[in-house]
Amino acid sequence: MNPPPNLNHLARLYRWMELASFGPSLQQCRCSFLAELRTCRRALALGDGDGRFIARLLRDNPTVEIDAVDASPAMLQALLRRAGADADRVRIHCADARLWQPPAPDDAPPYDLVIAHFFLDFLTTEEVQALAARLRGSVSPSAVWVVSEFAVPAGWFGRLVARPVVWGLYHAFGILTGLAVRQLPDHPAALRESGFTLRQRRSWLRGLLVSELWSAGQPHLANAQLSAREMCGANAITDAQSAVTPSSL
Ligand SMILES: C[S@@+](CC[C@H](N)C(=O)[O-])C[C@H]1O[C@@H](n2cnc3c(N)ncnc32)[C@H](O)[C@@H]1O
């Protein structure tokens, strides 16, 4: 297993690098399903970086408590600063998310929300699969998992624009942080394999960015047994779409 990339020196710059390259699109993507997360109570945030999403979630949802796992101490400090007065609802864990063990079921209630914005692309498909399988036992049956990711859509835009952009990002992060991964994982296959079901998918910049809402419930259970009110974020989980597998680079 490669060591996690080192983003410490980027923690203060990260936001500005993002704004300079993609404008507000990444934050729009992260916040796409915020309205559906207002009833969540216990969240696990994987690699949330400087915490812009967590700060928004804490403001919008006054009761949610969050475990934030990130390998970068500087990112975690930025996250706490940004959370401000709400930081007492965040527990930080400086750890490699591929190895981090969620609390045992007897020690803490299950998570009803998992957050992974622009984080799964730092892992291989096998690593996403192992992570999802491990988390499956720590989430409630009504839990949701929000994912934001880069993607390479089919067609000329994917071939001529999205693929080179993603290639450039991987190589830039490789140089700046030591990231060894060089292609997008097939995270939809990995999440499905571990029993998660895609409920909604939205895209930006002609499909270069996607935002997804997954649920821990099986498709037939979701339709037959889990009423909308039982599901965290239920209002949005009505027009399920089929999973779309991102192309490998
Ligand atoms: C590209 S940044 C994304 C940050 C944020 N989620 C966003 O939406 O911009 C990836 C974050 O994941 C963290 N990270 C990368 N690999 C990790 C790993 N194996 N375990 C824990 N954190 C990791 C990095 O330190 C960084 O904060």
Measured CA to CA, the distance from residue 8 to residue 11 in angstroms comes to 5
Give the pLDDT confidence of 122-135 residue by residue, as tens digits.
999 999 999 999 99
The residue extents of the domains of the chain are 8-236
- Please indicate whether residue 4, judged by its CB atom, sits closer than 6 Å to ligand 1: yes
C-alpha 228 – ligand 1 centre gap (Å)? 32
User: Do 2 and 173 meet the contact criterion of CB atoms below 8 Å apart?
Assistant: no
Give the pLDDT confidence of 161-187 residue by residue, as tens digits.
999 999 999 999 999 999 999 999 999
Please list, in sequence order, all residues whose beta carbon lies within 8 angstroms of the beta carbon of residue 150, skipping any fewer than 6 positions away.
Answer: 118, 121, 162, 165, 166, 169, 184, 208, 209, 210, 246
Tell me the whole-structure pTM to 2 decimals.
Answer: 0.88
The tokens describing 159, both together, are 């071939």
pLDDT-derived band at 219, boundaries 50, 70, 90: low
The verdict on domain 8-236 having CATH code 1.10.230.10 is: no
Measured CA to CA, the distance from residue 230 to residue 131 in angstroms comes to 25
Please list, in sequence order, all residues whose beta carbon lies within 8 angstroms of the beta carbon of residue 142, skipping any fewer than 6 positions away.
Answer: 112, 215, 216, 217, 226, 230, 231, 232
Measured CA to CA, the distance from residue 182 to residue 173 in angstroms comes to 10
pLDDT of residue 88: 97
Section 22-44 average pLDDT:
95
User: Do 77 and 11 meet the contact criterion of CB atoms below 8 Å apart?
Assistant: yes
User: Do 55 and 15 meet the contact criterion of CB atoms below 8 Å apart?
Assistant: no
DSSP character at residue 159: I
Give the pLDDT confidence of 4-15 residue by residue, as tens digits.
999 899 899 999
- Please indicate whether residue 122, judged by its CB atom, sits closer than 6 Å to ligand 1: yes
- Please indicate whether residue 19, judged by its CB atom, sits closer than 6 Å to ligand 1: no
- Please indicate whether residue 98, judged by its CB atom, sits closer than 6 Å to ligand 1: yes
C-alpha 202 – ligand 1 centre gap (Å)? 22
Question: Is the pLDDT assigned to residue 235 strictly greater than 90?
Answer: no
